[in-house]
Amino acid sequence: MCGCVSYPGTDGEVGGTVVEDFGDLAGHAVDIGENHIVGPARRWAVALDAGGLVFVDSDQLVAE
């Protein structure tokens, strides 16, 4: 999708690629299998250039 930087301007800043936009689902508690995640779901899934996957909100993401 797009190149981006997650957690811009912090020690955790890392490049990656947006792989999913959860849109209207963001901000709601979610169930994954038998696990209930109480905290709100994040809007974006980002595959990191260094490997791994993070879920972030729009304020934690900057387009490259």
CATH 3.30.1330 fits 3-63, yes or no: no
Kind of pairing between the strands at 35-37 and 61-63? unpaired
In this prediction, residue 40 carries a pLDDT of: 66
Q: How far apart are CA 27 and CA 42, in angstroms?
A: 6
Q: Give the residue extent of every domain in the chain.
A: 3-63
Q: How far apart are CA 61 and CA 21, in angstroms?
A: 12
In this prediction, residue 47 carries a pLDDT of: 92
Residue 41: closest CA among 52, 25, 53: 25
Residue range 33-45, pLDDT digits in tens: 887 766 667 788 8
Which DSSP helix (H) or strand (E) runs through 19? Answer: strand 14-21
CB proximity list for 12: less than 8 A, separation 6 or greater: 6
pLDDT below 50 — which residues of the chain? none
